[in-house]
Amino acid sequence: MTSPYGKLYLIPTTLGDTAPLEVLPISVKKIVEQVDVYIVENEKTARRFIKQIKPSKKQASLQIFLLNKFTDPSELPGFLEPCLLGKHVGLLSEAGCPAIADPGADVVMLAHKQNIQVVPLVGPSSIVMAHMSSGMNGQSFAFNGYLPIDKVERKKELKRLEQLSYSQNQSQSFIETPYRNNKLLEDICQALNDMTLVCVACDITLTSEYIKTQTVAAWKKNSVDLHKRPTLFIIHKE
């Protein structure tokens, strides 16, 4: 039976200043051409992305809902009201795929509860692409988000993740605020066993892309400048 509701499209974006259609399939362009209601993290960058995809789309016709750390949860049902009225809505990521290390999961869950069809579109995910290119365990891995800021707690968490990797043969990935990347790599080298493997996946899909897997001992001798560069770290037993 055809639903009278509009669909919630999960629309990925680029991971940096790359021409959208170099890393996104034509299906994303087709949906952006159709959809005029968007849930976004940052209105300015969202409008710029939409304009890159469809220059002729009138910006004044767009209805934008903001979803970020300042959004009150009570506002979320209103974001999906257009779907209930038969209009399609796009959940647009700030970088990469929506709802994965990105706001939006609560909206997706609400859509399921309201019987609104959720349609994920293909696009770059730094988490998946980093694991793909790491050479580590692609059968069992975990993404742990941000580690504690406190130095002592961060090193304790690194050791815990290392032990988890060793005991369960599971690759453990995490991220950091880009301006603290170099410090995190230093902490990794200080806290972990010399033979533990570390993958640094930086600037994925960009011209400056850098992906390298080597032991902690090797990273101590051969480091890299990660300052203000989006980076995903993965650790695994040798």
Q: What is the CATH number of the domain that holds 45?
A: 3.40.1010.10
Number of H helices, E strands in the chain: 10, 10
Residue 161 has pLDDT above 90, yes or no: yes
Residue 173 to residue 145: CA distance in whole angstroms: 8
Same domain (yes/no): 230, 136: yes
pLDDT per residue over 67-80, tens digit each?
A: 998 999 999 999 99
Residue 127 to residue 106: CA distance in whole angstroms: 20
Domain boundary among 120, 150, 184: 120
Indicate whether 1 belongs to any domain.
no
Sheet containing 8-11, strands listed edge to edge, beginning at the edge strand earlier in sequence: 63-66, 37-40, 89-92, 8-11, 118-120
Number of domains in the chain: 2
Same domain (yes/no): 87, 183: no
Same domain (yes/no): 158, 76: no
List of residues 6+ apart from 30 with CB closer than 8 A: none
Q: What are phi and psi of 55, to 5 degrees?
A: -55, -30
Share of the chain above pLDDT 70, in %: 100
Question: Which structural domain, as residue segments, surrounds residue 110?
Answer: 7-120
Indicate whether 170 belongs to any domain.
yes
The two beta strands, 141-146 and 171-175, are parallel
Mean pLDDT of 8-32: 94
Share of the chain above pLDDT 90, in %: 91
Same domain (yes/no): 98, 173: no
